[in-house]
Amino acid sequence: MSQTPTPETDAFRPCRLTPSDWPEYARALEIQRNAARADVAHLRAELADERAKKSDALIAAVQDITRLTDVLDTMRAAMELIAAPMRPDGTYNRDRAACGSIAREALNAINK
């Protein structure tokens, strides 16, 4: 068995600190604890920023989906009006100018 110290063997080694070393050891532990707290605070802030960015991106995506759904509904309504079947007398419910107007409105909705 090797005599090289490892974290496992160090855990069982008796403490070699003397009472005169305790204040210095306590200060070192305090410094480590404060550094660890600062790291945790920094990581929490980074996590909050990432969450905010992802939340903003998700909100923007939902808004885009909502807008595109509205555009699709407008296009569908326009196409249904334009594609209406001929009446029994051989005429249509919409003339070419009305169909053009409906199509322009639908295209303008896309470009918003």
The tens place of each residue's pLDDT in the chain, 112 residues long, gives 456 656 565 555 666 767 787 888 888 889 999 999 999 999 999 999 999 999 999 999 999 999 889 888 888 888 888 888 878 887 777 777 888 888 888 788 777 6
| Any domain includes 84 | yes
For residues 37 and 42, what is the distance between their CA atoms, to the nearest angstrom? 9
| Any domain includes 80 | yes
For residues 30 and 36, what is the distance between their CA atoms, to the nearest angstrom? 10
DSSP-derived letter for residue 4 is S
| Any domain includes 48 | yes
| Any domain includes 60 | yes
| Any domain includes 34 | yes
Domain membership of residue 100 as a residue range = 18-111
Q: Count up the domains in the chain and report the number.
A: 1
| Any domain includes 8 | no
| Any domain includes 3 | no
